[in-house]
């Protein structure tokens, strides 16, 4: 681990204070999100995916609240065993050295370093997510088609119990992370306490809690076991659809394809992920413990779950349209990030969209916590001249395609789009607050040039 004390910026990371509004906000999140997870599970399994029906039935007196609650899933030992085996397997895979970067050109695996933390630390990471994903998914397929050691519908068949295990484990992880920050933090200067225990448990105190020098909780839970399971869960849905109806619909195949694009891209660019807001600014707490173990694997795969009990064979012209739009959104996402990466690596001396002129930028200056003045550049051409967060715009188009792939007007398959829109707008505001404080007048000049945050000519 290296240290850059002279260039540290202790104002980086999340807020160091918690107002009553912050506390009420996290209280709402910590109570509402578990309710939503189980509510959608019940809506899909007992109401054909119509999210409005349970509330309407209770309001109209067609069923009581307790009749609705009787549909809650139960915790089972089978679910505990499945979750424990999967979690332990992902821990083992996470500890293995990465071999893919040796055989695949342009893949950044193996030991990579993150950005400078608030206290000036530069931490090493064992980047092997793509390898772990390949092993996990290939083994699941081999078992489903050949070995048949367990049913490939095992996830769907134990879904309710797995939800309970994930929710309980996520809460436990958050509490343990808080006490670890109190008793044995890895990097005490990177911790931020607010004085509100609730806020600190939910939003986290430690930025990079670890076991030893290399096992990083934040990176592990972000990618494994949740995102590595994403495509496994989707394949389990497809198998269940085949078991129930004797065929797999093109809508299910389309959802599997679109989600796989995102997952594979995440692991291919896992080293790049070390420099995102998640790793560089967020602290590790309930937001990641519950979010990565319970929210992400189940709520991000709602489309496949919906299609298990609402199979839909799309018109092939519409299916092709969604396929092309979803693929284009991914290519756009890659292009947007490639422009920013090229701009950073060349320090502004790069071409945009193959044009002869170089990238246009606004010079900016900021002051570190030690009083040093640093120079930076704010890109205002290419994708980044259209809106300040065009990478998020591409993400939203992809999320829209997830819902469209189901061919339904029900809310459940489209929930992810509305959730992601809310999340990304919040991230836009958080990121811009930091940049405004960091760059001052240069940021004002930048926003006068690039007027839109997320959607060109709209917002």
What angle do helix axes 250-268 and 316-345 make, rounded to 10 degrees?
A: 10
- Rounded CA-CA distance 279/127 in Å is 14
> Exposed (0-12), middle (13-18) or buried (19+): which is 414, by Cβ within 10 Å?
buried
pLDDT of residue 370: 63
Confidence of residue 280 (pLDDT cuts 50, 70, 90): confident
pLDDT of residue 9: 43
Confidence of residue 397 (pLDDT cuts 50, 70, 90): very high
Helix ranges (H only) for 285-315 are 286-290, 296-299, 302-309
- Rounded CA-CA distance 212/126 in Å is 12
Pairing of β 124-127 and β 210-211: unpaired
Tokens of 376: 């930076």
- Rounded CA-CA distance 450/318 in Å is 35
Confidence of residue 355 (pLDDT cuts 50, 70, 90): low
- Calculate mean pLDDT across residues 394-411: 96
Phi, psi of 375 (to 5 degrees): -100, 145
pLDDT at 382 > cutoff 70: yes
Sign of CA dihedral 83, 109, 124, 432: negative
pLDDT at 341 > cutoff 80: yes
Q: What is the pTM of this model?
A: 0.91
Verify cis geometry, omega within 30 degrees of 0, for the bond prior to 225. yes
Tokens of 349: 């001396």
pLDDT of residue 1: 39
CB neighbours of residue 190 within 10 Å: 24
- Rounded CA-CA distance 162/225 in Å is 13
pLDDT of residue 11: 45
E-only strand ranges, 167-257: 210-211, 215-216
State which H helix or E strand residue 377 sits in: strand 373-379
Cβ atoms 39, 302 nearer than 8 A: no
Cβ atoms 396, 332 nearer than 8 A: no
Residue 121 DSSP SS3: strand
Residue 19 DSSP SS3: coil
pLDDT at 13 > cutoff 90: no
pLDDT of residue 8: 38
Please list the residues that pair with 351 across neighbouring strands.
358
pLDDT of residue 284: 94
pLDDT at 366 > cutoff 70: yes
Q: Dump pLDDT digits (tens) for 40-96.
A: 999 999 999 999 999 999 999 999 999 999 999 999 999 999 999 999 999 999 999
- Calculate mean pLDDT across residues 223-244: 95
- Calculate mean pLDDT across residues 141-146: 97
pLDDT of residue 18: 77
pLDDT of residue 6: 36
pLDDT of residue 59: 95
pLDDT at 3 > cutoff 50: no
pLDDT of residue 14: 58
Cα torsion through 336, 337, 340, 342, rounded to 10: -110
- Calculate mean pLDDT across residues 164-178: 96
Cβ atoms 234, 255 nearer than 8 A: yes
Q: Dump pLDDT digits (tens) for 425-447.
A: 988 988 888 888 889 999 999 99
Percent of the chain with pLDDT over 90: 76
pLDDT of residue 57: 96
- Calculate mean pLDDT across residues 101-122: 91
pLDDT at 155 > cutoff 60: yes
pLDDT of residue 5: 37
How many secondary structure helices (H) and strands (E) does the chain include? 21, 8
Best mean pLDDT range from 10-19, 99-108, 287-296, 319-328:
319-328
State the chain's mean pLDDT as an integer: 91
Q: Dump pLDDT digits (tens) for 288-340.
A: 999 999 999 999 999 999 999 999 999 999 999 999 999 999 999 999 998 98
Q: Which residue has the tokens 């937001």?
A: 287
pLDDT of residue 95: 95
Q: Which of 271, 7, 269, 270 is nearest to 117 (CA)?
A: 7
Cβ atoms 405, 258 nearer than 8 A: yes
Confidence of residue 16 (pLDDT cuts 50, 70, 90): low
Helix ranges (H only) for 119-273 are 129-142, 154-157, 159-183, 197-203, 217-223, 226-245, 250-268, 270-273
Q: Which of 208, 228, 290 is nearest to 90 (CA)?
A: 228
Which 8-state DSSP code applies to residue 143?
Answer: I
Q: Which residue has the tokens 């119509």?
A: 50
């Amino acid at each position: 681990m290296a240290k850059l004390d002279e260039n540290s910026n202790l104002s980086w990371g999340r807020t160091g204070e918690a107002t009553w509004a912050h506390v009420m906000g996290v209280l709402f999140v910590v109570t509402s999100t578990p309710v939503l997870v189980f509510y959608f599970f019940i809506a899909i399994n007992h109401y054909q995916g119509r999210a409005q029906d349970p509330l309407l039935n209770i309001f109209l007196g067609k069923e009581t609240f307790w009749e609705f609650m009787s549909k809650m899933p139960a915790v089972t030992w089978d679910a505990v065993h499945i979750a424990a085996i999967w979690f332990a397997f992902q821990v083992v895979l996470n500890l293995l050295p990465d071999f893919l970067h040796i055989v695949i050109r342009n893949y950044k695996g193996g030991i990579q370093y993150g950005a400078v933390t608030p206290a000036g630390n530069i931490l090493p990471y064992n980047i092997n997510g793509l390898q772990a994903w390949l092993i996990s998914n290939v083994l699941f397929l081999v078992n489903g088609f050949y070995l048949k050691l367990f049913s490939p519908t095992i996830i769907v068949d134990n879904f309710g119990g797995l939800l309970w295990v994930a929710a309980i484990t996520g809460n436990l992880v958050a509490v343990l992370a808080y006490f670890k920050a109190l008793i044995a933090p890895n990097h005490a200067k990177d911790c931020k306490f607010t004085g509100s225990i609730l806020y600190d448990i939910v939003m986290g105190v430690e930025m990079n809690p670890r076991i030893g020098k290399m096992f990083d909780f934040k990176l592990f839970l972000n990618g494994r076991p949740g995102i590595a399971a994403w495509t496994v869960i989707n394949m389990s849905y497809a198998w269940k659809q085949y078991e129930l109806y004797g065929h797999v619909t093109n809508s299910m195949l389309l959802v599997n394809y679109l989600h796989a694009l995102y997952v594979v891209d995440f692991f291919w660019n896992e080293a790049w992920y070390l420099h995102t807001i998640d790793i560089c600014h967020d602290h590790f707490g309930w937001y990641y413990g519950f979010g990565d173990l319970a929210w992400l694997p189940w709520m991000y795969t709602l489309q496949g779950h919906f299609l298990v009990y609402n199979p839909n064979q799309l018109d092939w012209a519409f299916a092709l349209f969604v396929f092309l739009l979803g693929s284009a959104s991914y290519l756009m996402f890659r292009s947007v990030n490639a422009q920013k990466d090229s701009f950073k690596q060349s320090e502004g001396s790069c071409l945009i969209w193959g044009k002869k002129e170089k990238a246009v930028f606004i010079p900016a200056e900021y002051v570190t916590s030690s009083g040093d003045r640093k120079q930076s550049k704010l890109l205002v051409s290419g994708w980044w001249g259209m809106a300040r967060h065009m990478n998020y715009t591409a993400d939203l188009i992809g999320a829209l395609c997830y819902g469209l792939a189901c061919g339904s007007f029900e809310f459940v398959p489209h929930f992810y789009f509305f959730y992601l829109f809310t999340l990304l707008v919040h991230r836009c505001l958080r990121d811009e607050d930091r940049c405004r404080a960091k760059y001052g007048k240069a940021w004002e000049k930048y926003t006068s040039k690039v007027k839109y945050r997320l959607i060109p000519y709209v917002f």
